[in-house]
Structure 1
């Protein structure tokens, strides 16, 4: 990677740590302190021995080891100094091959396909030979974790570095090569107050009447950043009264340092509204350091009825409010963002996850469980059981003939007994089961009350449909199968979420969808939508008012298929692939879909653009905020259709021409009034013309794989909101134009707020 220019305090690379927070305008990852620490470790990384060295950072949980490592990893000087960078979270439970694959993918930018029988360790070692690399191994717990990987990182005189974080001093000393292990210190009282003030007041100064109380709170945090952040989450939700803040400070003063983190998390937990508690505890059921997809988590929360839609438009909105509350309280972390700045992945800090697992295992039977509903006591007998299916469990199931009360269930490190006395059971995800011993279908027939079933990680045998017939309580179903017919599960009248991956082309009949009135989210890969043209179907007026998201399917734009979308008046997200020349508009009456905010369209036929007037079939609903178009030729009429979307915040264009020639994209007289993100990927644009009024509020521009694209319009220097330009695999002249824009902004405004990142 080469970073030719950056402004501000830092920049993010495309390989930013996959399991830690990204920086957003809403959930700022405030970094306080570490200036001296960062300077010292920067010298270790970029100076010193030319031999490969291991830089270790150690300290107790919550000191900020990962935050410091991430700050260094994303430093613009580091970005340009090392040829190869990769970040890998190790943790207590890890799979050697999986982690090596993750490092290899980052080291090669996913350009080399890994086969099942490949020796990934050897491939990684050969790929790193002769390169100056930086590998971060975050949260190593034992020496064996290093010995599993150390041989993959070749010696040499290129100045390569491996940076390790660990909470165990002996591990840090054992890994010592040339540099001494670095012990991370506690924050000073001044740094603690600075961090607390920034988290609570979001950049504003503390009012004088709260200053003394705030200083007392910071003092009692005893220099532990995690404690400061969690306490900030508590007092942010507390009335701004000095007496209340002092109560928080006095409560902290009695905590023993060793248990301080747990005590503070307990305090944060106690301050949560009742409905937020099961939402948080549920997240601990995912593996350590797991990037939890927010979309899946929200749907699982809904299936389990943790979140009610009181005072909101729908359950999805209620879940998003819960997610925001947990983020604002710093109990969960952002670990991945979508390009339009919504949270895509979240995760739990190790200490928070440990606390949640303690709460989940407090009763004498040690079951991993969550409450039946938000208003039920945590230890109620009517609980739900969460099962992770893995090889050891499958062997035990076979041995004990699926009698759950006799099976020793793996729960973290210890085996715990199970009792089959629960009314409701869930299996949120298959993680490590690989079909060596049996299949999960034998287990499913024993769990008639299962509500959430996620079997997306393994292709099920053909008998899956009959096994699921009895699971009438299902709200959430995710499957990977060879064949699928919606009729096989149409009797699941409580189903809210359906996700299907299939290796064969599927055919989905609209009439069957109409019968499942509680469906809210449908995502079926590899299928074609068919409208049955018969009298009964034509007379049907069943409206699926609960449907919120639908995709990804192939469609033909004829009169019958167009009518199908009228049945989803509350649709919010839609992903489609247009397979032929349209005969009818995709949205015959755009005003019907006033709630639609995300639309993704893929055009796959050259014949579409050889026709005349095809653009008139793509007049979009006016409330769209995010639009993705793949394979779409940007004619003047199509650009005007997009510009009519006055609320459009993000526009992502991919493979912008099906012809063999490049073209000029002229938007000089066109305005995109609300557009904040613009992404151009593999567009066959040779020239781009724009005025200063074309993108008045644009914040981020991303261009990738546009080999003919020579220059960003100079008018971009006049956009006051522009903060970031990213270029990937583009010709040099495009980078020069980006740097010229950066330079002109600095000269005209004296502000260095624009970041420019270039990656070859």
Structure 2
């Protein structure tokens, strides 16, 4: 049965430290009822993490048989783990297993399925682990952990109602956790009323996930209902980037600005509430901040059904395309046939989350872009053009979509933004990440509503004087940064400055005093040749929590704690360090994450004393030149993750035994 925890168990195994270290390669693919073997192969190849972005682009054009050979060659002679999630037909496995070599290296394949015949008929060597329902005691423990977590006292009446509820759940974990999330937000006097509503919805006195969902959905506020239904735009088992989701919710008009909170913060609060209600699963957090989430496939199914009944979202398929729904989404390969048929004059939003056609370069037919009422357009990963011609630029038709609030053109292989972009005066989010560096002048001075600008603008970037709404600017050259009126960027939260040695551009010394005017800056990424960092210039970053540096500085300033009093995360990339940075870093009392990435060290030894690093949870070294790391017994009491990677030399580790449990060597000879 769906909701028993098959995928959850497989994912738990897949992500354990023991499994990560045992298998050289790990891959994951979801199958579902409608599957394409080619899609499954591509998902496994991507999840292995061994193919570069350029290599992935090359293999996209391979035929299915060629992809099988490609994957087979990668895994041959390696110990690998592959998870094939949610198989409905034995044929799906048969079409995939040819690409998985039997190399007697201890490799494993985990399959999840709801069909017993599929599980037992896969292979004569298979071990079928049947996931059972929870016992009453296990169900009650799960329920009370969630439902009563906000209560100081739980009386007998509440316990009686709770036990009646879980008795009806029949040991189904998904039903229990969703109902517990609902009850956790109810006052004790409301429990009996909710329970009575639950009984009325039961069919044949048995629990159904749709029954639980209907009850939980009914209890949501209108804004939360819109946010939850909008999750149906994402494919099954899709890891949703929370930043992207927030941007979309805002431009769709679902979020209203609060007197004390920006719309982005309100949207994040709504997503966290859906997680708290167990309608959405948190996948990845960084220092407590939600980075990605996922919706269970059963809850997604009922959300899609309800969204379709309300004409809220239409998930396109080749047999049916709505002519009235204002939001449409494509989850599969974009091809010529689809592009030629997709014309819906009522459309306000179109989102693409599939892939380009497998045996040829996919494109978006420009006839489809002539939809004057579009507010949201996400075409990440597609080419623009017409049959036989793929220009590396944005088509002119987009310049006529004057109502656009969101334009997603990430990974489109475009080289510059066209001049007509200034027509999109209502644009709030422009995501052009994953493309080549934009080397020409980009004029956005008329885009006064812009809140999030994402791309690599190494040429001149003109954003004008009215930029008070801008919160994200990734990334801009030091020259363009020097030309801006920094005092106007009062709401800027996330800034990246990038100077590329491969691009002809004017470089200017980075004046860090310009950052002192950014009163709300939280994340700063500097990829510049060099700069001076000193508190003598009265440069302070009171709100900055994350700093990423890639430059040619040889040593960190002694007074970093005065410059960055609130810093929680520090990433140093490509630095050539002459001195041990630990004595400086330990003064940063709020520091939780430290990552030294691709750094060189001129010294021999690094030492971490008992003083400082009281909150540090993650320490990662990808560093050359280090010969000895010494950590004192009482140092870093909160550490949960320790990773080391070196190149060609042994590291003498003098560390407490309690930290060895967290040690995770990565591609190291130590």
TM-score range normalised by the length of the shorter chain:
0.7 to 0.9
Measure how far apart 1:207 and its partner are: 2.7
Residue of structure 2 equivalent to 1:157: 104
Cα-to-partner distance string for 1:295-346 (whole Å, 9 max, x where unaligned): 1111111111011123442111111111111111111122334x44432222
Cα distance change on mapping 1:550 and 1:70 into 2, 3 Å: same
Residue of structure 2 equivalent to 1:665: 581
**Which structure is higher in RCO with an 8 Å CA cutoff and minimum separation 6?**
1
* In the alignment, structure 1 residue 624 sits paired with structure 2 residue 544: yes
1:412-561 mapped onto 2 (5 Å cutoff):
420=345, 422=346, 425-429=348-352, 431-434=354-357, 439-445=364-370, 447-461=371-385, 464-479=394-409, 480=412, 482-485=414-417, 487-501=419-433, 502-503=435-436, 505-508=438-441, 512-529=443-460, 542-556=465-479, 560-561=482-483
Residue of structure 1 equivalent to 2:596: 680
Cα-to-partner distance string for 1:505-525 (whole Å, 9 max, x where unaligned): 33345xx43432111000122
Cα-to-partner distance string for 1:195-221 (whole Å, 9 max, x where unaligned): 112223459997344333332322222
Work out the CA distance in 1 between the residues paired with 2:16 and 2:462. Answer: 54
Measure how far apart 1:163 and its partner are: 1.0
Cα distance change on mapping 1:521 and 1:246 into 2, 3 Å: closer
Given the alignment, which residue of 132, 137, 141 partners 1:194? Answer: 141
Cα distance change on mapping 1:741 and 1:88 into 2, 3 Å: farther
Cα-to-partner distance string for 1:162-185 (whole Å, 9 max, x where unaligned): 110001122112214224422211
Given the alignment, which residue of 692, 696, 702 partners 2:620? Answer: 702
Do the aligned partners of 1:526 and 1:552 also contact (CA within 8 Å) in 2? yes
Work out the CA distance in 2 between the residues paired with 1:367 and 1:345. Answer: 22
Cα-to-partner distance string for 1:669-699 (whole Å, 9 max, x where unaligned): 9511111111111121343244333322111
Do the aligned partners of 2:445 and 2:462 also contact (CA within 8 Å) in 1? no
Do the aligned partners of 1:132 and 1:160 also contact (CA within 8 Å) in 2? yes
Do the aligned partners of 2:339 and 2:364 also contact (CA within 8 Å) in 1? no
Given the alignment, which residue of 67, 85, 91 partners 1:144? Answer: 91
Secondary structure of the residue aligned to 1:727 is strand
Cα-to-partner distance string for 1:434-469 (whole Å, 9 max, x where unaligned): 476863321111x11000111221232457453123
Measure how far apart 1:110 and its partner are: 4.3
Cα distance change on mapping 1:318 and 1:668 into 2, 3 Å: closer
Residue of structure 1 equivalent to 2:302: 355
Residue of structure 2 equivalent to 1:598: 523
Given the alignment, which residue of 19, 41, 45 partners 1:104? Answer: 45
* In the alignment, structure 1 residue 181 sits paired with structure 2 residue 107: no
Measure how far apart 1:504 and its partner are: 5.8
Given the alignment, which residue of 583, 586, 610 partners 2:512? Answer: 586
TM-score by length of 1: 0.76
Measure how far apart 1:243 and its partner are: 4.6
Work out the CA distance in 2 between the residues paired with 1:669 and 1:519. Answer: 36
Given the alignment, which residue of 295, 307, 314 partners 1:368? Answer: 314
* In the alignment, structure 1 residue 571 sits paired with structure 2 residue 486: no
Residue of structure 1 equivalent to 2:250: 302
Cα distance change on mapping 1:77 and 1:204 into 2, 3 Å: farther
Cα-to-partner distance string for 1:404-457 (whole Å, 9 max, x where unaligned): 4xxxxxxxxxxxxxxx4x3x5111225234476863321111x11000111221
Secondary structure of the residue aligned to 1:495 is coil
Residue of structure 1 equivalent to 2:282: 334
Residue of structure 1 equivalent to 2:638: 721
Measure how far apart 1:393 and its partner are: 7.0
Residue of structure 2 equivalent to 1:386: 328
Work out the CA distance in 1 between the residues paired with 2:446 and 2:275. Answer: 38
Cα distance change on mapping 1:678 and 1:438 into 2, 3 Å: closer
Measure how far apart 1:187 and its partner are: 0.3
Deviates most, 565-574 or 305-314: 305-314
Measure how far apart 1:645 and its partner are: 1.5
Work out the CA distance in 1 between the residues paired with 2:589 and 2:167. Answer: 47
Cα distance change on mapping 1:225 and 1:642 into 2, 3 Å: same
Cα-to-partner distance string for 1:471-504 (whole Å, 9 max, x where unaligned): 1110001223635346412122211011225446
Work out the CA distance in 1 between the residues paired with 2:302 and 2:284. Answer: 23
Given the alignment, which residue of 645, 666, 670 partners 1:759? Answer: 666
The runs of 5 or more residues in structure 1 that have no matched partner are 1-59, 371-380, 405-419, 533-539, 747-753
Do the aligned partners of 2:493 and 2:522 also contact (CA within 8 Å) in 1? yes
The runs of 5 or more residues in structure 2 that have no matched partner are 317-322, 386-390, 501-505
Cα-to-partner distance string for 1:626-673 (whole Å, 9 max, x where unaligned): 111123425242x5236532211111111112xxx7543351695111
Cα distance change on mapping 1:276 and 1:394 into 2, 3 Å: farther
Cα-to-partner distance string for 1:510-563 (whole Å, 9 max, x where unaligned): xx434321110001224323569xxxxxxx8x33211111111222288x52x4
- Superposition CA RMSD, Å: 3.5
Work out the CA distance in 2 between the residues paired with 1:602 and 1:188. Answer: 55
Residue of structure 1 equivalent to 2:320: none
Do the aligned partners of 2:612 and 2:635 also contact (CA within 8 Å) in 1? no
Do the aligned partners of 1:717 and 1:742 also contact (CA within 8 Å) in 2? no
TM-score by length of 2: 0.85
Measure how far apart 1:387 and its partner are: 4.1
Cα distance change on mapping 1:62 and 1:723 into 2, 3 Å: same
Residue of structure 2 equivalent to 1:324: 272
Do the aligned partners of 1:482 and 1:503 also contact (CA within 8 Å) in 2? yes
